[in-house]
Structure 1
Amino acid sequence: MTGTAVAAPPVCDPSVTKVLVIDDEALFREGLCSILADAAGVAVVGDTDGLADAFPLITAVDPDVVLLGVRDCDGVLAAVRRLQQAAPKAAVVVLGAHASFELVQELLGAGVRGLLLKSASGQELIATMRACRDSGRRVFLSLPPEVLVRSGGQGDDARLTDREREVLDLTACAMSNAQIAASLGLSEPTVKRHLRNIFGKLGAVSRIDAVNKARAASLITRRSPTEFF
C-alpha cells in the first residue's frame, strides 16, 4: 500500500522516547514497529511509507527520533535535510540496506544522529533509539568496520556499488552528467556524487583517469554508446 500514515495515541510519559518510523516496505515497517513497541522506554508514535505523509505526522506527534528506512541511497541526503527542517529537535536515524565510506561521511555531515544497516539486530535498533534522545549530539553507528575505512587504490572493484558501475559504464561512453542522469533516472547532483565516490575508490583524478583505471581493472562492462539506445 502507498500513502499510508498512522498516528498512535499521545504519549504522556516524558521519559519515553517517541519514535516516528518511515519505510516504504510495509512488512519491514510493521516489523520495526513491533520490535520497538515491545521495548521498555520506547513508543512508536506514528508510521508511514513516505516523506509526504511524514510531515503532518511530525507536527501531530512531535517525535524524539525519526527512523528513516531506505533501500536506494539516491536522494537520502535531501530526505534527511527535509526531515531536520520539519523536526529540528528530533534525532534523524537512517536505516539503510547498504552503506559506503563516502555515504557515511555525507550523512554525518548532514547531521544524522544514527546510521544502521537493515541487518542490525533488534537490540541494536532499540539501544540507538534510546541513546539518541539522552546523549546530546553524539552519533551512533552500527556498521561493519570496513565501511568506516576509506579504501582507495586502483582496481578496488569490491567496493563499487551496482549504481557506481552503471555510472562508470556510461562515463566510458563519453556521456555527460546530464545524459547519464537522464539514462539512469537520476538527478545530476546524484551523478556527480557517484562520480566522486568512483574517483575516490579508484584513486582517479579525472573522468578519463577513472575510465582508464577501470578498463585496466576490467571494471568496464560496456564499451559502445549504441548499447544504451
Structure 2
Amino acid sequence: MREISVVVVDDDKLVRRSLATFFRAVEDITLVGEAADGVEGLEVARATKPDVVMLDLHMPRMGGIEAATAIRAELPDTGVLAITTFGTADVVVPMIRAGASGYLLKDSEPEDIIAAVRRVHAGEGALSPAVTGRLIETIQDAQPVSHVELSPDQVLSDRERDVLDQLALGRSNGEIARALHVSESTVKTHLRSIMVKWGARDRVQILIRAARAGLVLLS
C-alpha cells in the first residue's frame, strides 16, 4: 500500500502535534512536514510535494484561502484539505473556491480526519455533513435554483440521482454502496458519469452544481 504524504499547516502547535499523533496510528499516512503559517506552508509544500496539505483558515502572514490558491496553482496534483474551527458558509465557500477538496471542523473525530485525508487523496473530496448543508444552503440563497436548468445531456439517471442524494449527506463511496446495496465500483462509475455530464472535477463541484440546479433538497 502506497503511503499518503501529508503536510499540516496550522499556527496552533498543539493542533499540529495532535494531527501527527493521529497519523502515527495508521500505516498508510505519513506526515512529511508542518508549518505555522501559509508562507511557511507553501515553502514546505514546494519542498516535499505532498499528496495532501491540511490547512487552517486563519493564520499569520498568509491565511488558508491564499495558501490554498497558491498551492493548487503550483502543485496541481496536491489535494488541499481545510481543517478549522469555523464552519460558517462565509468561510467555507471561499475556501472551496480556492481549490480545497475537503473541509472539516477541528472537533471532527480522529477517524473522520484520517478518512478525509484518504478521500481527498483518492480524488473524492470530503466535507463534514454540517458543512455540506451550509455550503448548499449558501449556494441556493446566492443563486435561486429556478434560474438554472440542466440541458438534456446533463440530466441524471435515477441511479445517478440516488448516488447524488447520498453524496449530499457527506457519505463516502463505501457508505453510499452499502446504502444503495451496490458495489463501490458501481458508485465510482456513477460519480464519473455525473462528473462527465456536468464538467465537474470532483465531488465538491458535483454538490455545487446539484445545488444550483435544485437537485439537492435540505431537510
Indicate the TM-score class for this superposition, using the shorter chain for normalisation: 0.5 to 0.7
CA displacement at 1:140 relative to structure 2: 1.0
AA matched with 1:141:
L
Work out the CA distance in 2 between the residues paired with 1:142 and 1:62.
Answer: 26
Pick the aligned partner of 1:89 from 77, 81, 84.
77
Q: Separation in 2 of the partners of 1:128 and 1:106?
A: 19
2:87 is aligned with 1:99: yes
Identity %: 24
Pick the aligned partner of 2:17 from 30, 38, 43. 30
Residue 46 of structure 1 deviates from its aligned partner by 0.7
Structure 1 residue 69 displacement after superposition: 1.9
Amino acid at match of 1:101: A
Deviations 1:142-165 (CA, angstroms, capped at 9, x unpaired): 14265242497xxxxxxxxxxxxx
| Residue 129 of structure 1: how far off its partner (Å) | 0.8
CA distance in 2, matches of 1:18, 1:141: 20
Match for residue 46 of structure 1?
Answer: 33
Q: Structure 1: which 5+ runs fail to align? A: 1-12, 153-229
Q: Provide the C-alpha distance between the structure 2 equivalents of 1:64 and 1:58, rounded to a whole number of angstroms.
A: 9
**2:30 is aligned with 1:65:** no
The answer to whether residue 130 in structure 2 is matched with residue 130 in structure 1 is no
Distance 1:132-1:33 versus aligned 2 partners, 3 A rule: same
Instruction: Tell me the secondary structure at the aligned position of residue 50 of structure 2.
Output: coil
Match of 1:140 in 2: 126
Letter of the 2:28 partner, please give it: G
How far, CA to CA, are the matches of 1:126 and 1:119 in structure 2?
13
Task: Say if 2:98 is the partner of 1:114.
Answer: no
Q: Once superposed, what is the RMSD of the aligned Cα atoms?
A: 2.5
TM-score under structure 2 normalisation?
Answer: 0.56
- Shift in Å at residue 119 of structure 1? 0.9
Asked whether the 8 Å contact 2:83–2:104 carries over to 1, the reply is: yes
The change in CA–CA distance for 1:146 and 1:56 in structure 2 (over 3 A counts) is closer
TM-score by length of structure 1 reads 0.53
Larger Rg: 1
Counterparts of 2:77 and 2:107 in 1: how far apart (Å)? 27
Amino acid aligned to 2:41: A
Q: Residues 103 and 59 (structure 1 numbering): CA distance in 2 closer, same or farther, change over 3 Å?
A: closer
Any stretches of 5+ residues in structure 2 without a counterpart? 142-219
Alpha-carbon distance between aligned partners in 2 of 1:129 and 1:32, rounded to the nearest angstrom: 11
* Contact kept in structure 2, 1:114 and 1:140, CA below 8 Å: yes
Equivalent position amino acid for 2:89 in 1 = F
- Matches of 1:43 and 1:31 in 2, distance apart? 14
Match of 2:67 among 79, 94, 97: 79
Matched length: 137
Q: Which amino acid aligns with 1:90?
A: T
